Structure 1
């Protein structure tokens, strides 16, 4: 079958049908670079995954330079990276077993394998995305210690957990019986996969927007120059690009033809690797300053001097309600502000880094100390 297709090689001489019976059919493998579009997508995603790997390396190098302790944000980003490796490997395997070939051109055993891989692919993708979200949120808990913010971050964690749970339920409940996922001839029913994927994707987008919006108000209250605030907004705002990728992926999922999955899945497979790879890189960007400072000391020392001059003048002002704090664990000098009771009609703010009673689970090294 398909003996004239280029790049095809028979490598196995037995297989099984959807019910597990030996059919004697062979899984046929194809040249992954047979189609230029498949080749280009594989190369692009390989580069993106390599960049995300490098970003994690710079993240841990920064931790070493600052002598920072590793925390949950670091653990979750590594877990997300491992799942992204798995997704890239499956994208290559999809190309090997016939991605971009029409289903009528493939052996039945290849088609069954593609649908079975789709189940694993979804699980790995959802794990990659939710662990990246948790990494973002635990990083927020490193640098923001106000009670309201920490509560909001935990609410977002709950939303991310709900996203993961809903995704897992969708994977295992969309078809009854479960084997109907890869064998449409079985009695039973399947809900619309296009609708299910799009709905889960929309919830993914909402959680991303919530996570990105979380620090906006708190950054504005930080005691630093407007330029530094704009830079921080830029760092956290890069996530908008990830949201654009999510929107594209949602649209692509609505166009997948599950009656010809091997041919129509190509863009869904591409964006499903691109999204977590970029999310990982974006999650590591705020931690890279110590590395860049070590590599380009002139640029970053001048920025630090400007910041120190401004905050030093403010902290020395008579009657000022602000105190500059040094967060020894974060990659940015931050002043955390918490509303306090005031005898006047106005609202005073005070630095809260030394208020460790807010959350006893925050690592001691993350809290920082005040300057005397």
Structure 2
């Protein structure tokens, strides 16, 4: 029997497969390029990759008829997807941040940026807690009985995501500018500015994701979340991949 491309669950699986394949290839290539020189930015990229595999498991736990799964498995699948959404996107941001820390020659600035990393880690913990207090109150468990369980996160989650996403991505775009300005090669400087500014793409997708949380809900939220995660991990690998490409081309 062919795939029903109008089925939201099939759409999510296809999106995850395609976008995830790109993110996985980028991360594996990055780790290969960085072999023998691994640092914290590579560790966070690898951690995000592991969580992406867990997210794959959560998404593909849905068989053709999710009702064939017991209720606990369907709820567990949702939480796998929800939790890994945060771990992937923030681990990707931490990878970019530690890339900046790695190449920054100023010890004082490196120390300050580590405090920013602490904020990013706190954000992961905060969103975990928020997920629990929004989805687990005794008065709000009806969503678990659905064929494909999806907790209604509401505006408070969307607002928190918008604020933290925009601020963190803006920070990741601004921080490298001090380093890039010092480069003598104007062409390389422009290319690196473009590479680090790709974080804005993640912010745009996060705004769409937040809009779906508020206005639409349901499986569309999972679909956009999958795209946002894979895109974030892909963007996190761009500085390493692009730098390697520039060196190979003698640029």
Shorter-chain TM-score tier: 0.7 to 0.9
Pair 1:183–1:229, CA change in 2 (3 A) = closer
| Residue 155 of structure 2, aligned match among 175, 179, 195 | 195
Q: Distance in 2 between matches of 1:76 and 1:140?
A: 13
Partner residue in 2 for 1:102: none
The residue matched to 1:43 in structure 2 has which SS? helix
| Residue 227 of structure 1, aligned match among 187, 195, 207 | 187
Partner residue in 2 for 1:268: 221
Unaligned runs of 5+ residues in structure 2 are 146-150
Q: After TM superposition, give the deviation of residue 58 of structure 1 in Å.
A: 1.7
Does the 8 Å CA contact 1:130/1:164 hold for their aligned counterparts? yes
Pair 1:226–1:41, CA change in 2 (3 A) = same
Partner residue in 1 for 2:61: 93
Does the 8 Å CA contact 2:71/2:144 hold for their aligned counterparts? no
Q: Which has the higher strand share?
A: 1
Q: After TM superposition, give the deviation of residue 62 of structure 1 in Å.
A: 1.7
Q: Distance in 2 between matches of 1:290 and 1:71?
A: 16
Partner residue in 2 for 1:60: 31
Does the 8 Å CA contact 1:49/1:277 hold for their aligned counterparts? yes
Larger radius of gyration, structure 1 or 2?
1
The residue matched to 2:34 in structure 1 has which SS? helix
| Residue 123 of structure 2, aligned match among 153, 158, 163 | 163
Q: Distance in 2 between matches of 1:135 and 1:159?
A: 14
Q: After TM superposition, give the deviation of residue 248 of structure 1 in Å.
A: 0.8
Root mean square deviation, CA, Å? 3.0
Does 1:246 find its partner at 2:206?
yes
Pair 1:97–1:196, CA change in 2 (3 A) = farther
Does the 8 Å CA contact 1:174/1:193 hold for their aligned counterparts? yes
The residue matched to 1:174 in structure 2 has which SS? helix
Partner residue in 1 for 2:235: 282
Pair 1:176–1:288, CA change in 2 (3 A) = closer
Does 1:45 find its partner at 2:16?
yes
Q: Distance in 2 between matches of 1:77 and 1:266?
A: 27
TM-score by length of 2: 0.82
Q: After TM superposition, give the deviation of residue 289 of structure 1 in Å.
A: 4.5
TM-score by length of 1: 0.58
Does the 8 Å CA contact 1:56/1:284 hold for their aligned counterparts? yes
Matching of residues 179-194 of structure 1 within 5 Å: 180-182=140-142, 193-194=153-154
Does the 8 Å CA contact 2:75/2:144 hold for their aligned counterparts? no
Paired residues in the alignment total 244
Does the 8 Å CA contact 1:76/1:135 hold for their aligned counterparts? yes
Does 1:69 find its partner at 2:30?
no
The residue matched to 2:105 in structure 1 has which SS? coil
1:276-306 Cα distance to aligned partner (Å, 9 max, x none): 2111111112212575368xx5xx22x2xxx
Q: Distance in 2 between matches of 1:124 and 1:239?
A: 19
Does the 8 Å CA contact 1:172/1:178 hold for their aligned counterparts? no
Q: Distance in 1 between matches of 2:187 and 2:75?
A: 51
Does 1:133 find its partner at 2:93?
yes
Pair 1:166–1:178, CA change in 2 (3 A) = farther
Matching of residues 79-90 of structure 1 within 5 Å: 79-90=47-58
Unaligned runs of 5+ residues in structure 1 are 1-6, 8-30, 99-105, 186-190, 258-264, 304-372
The residue matched to 1:127 in structure 2 has which SS? helix
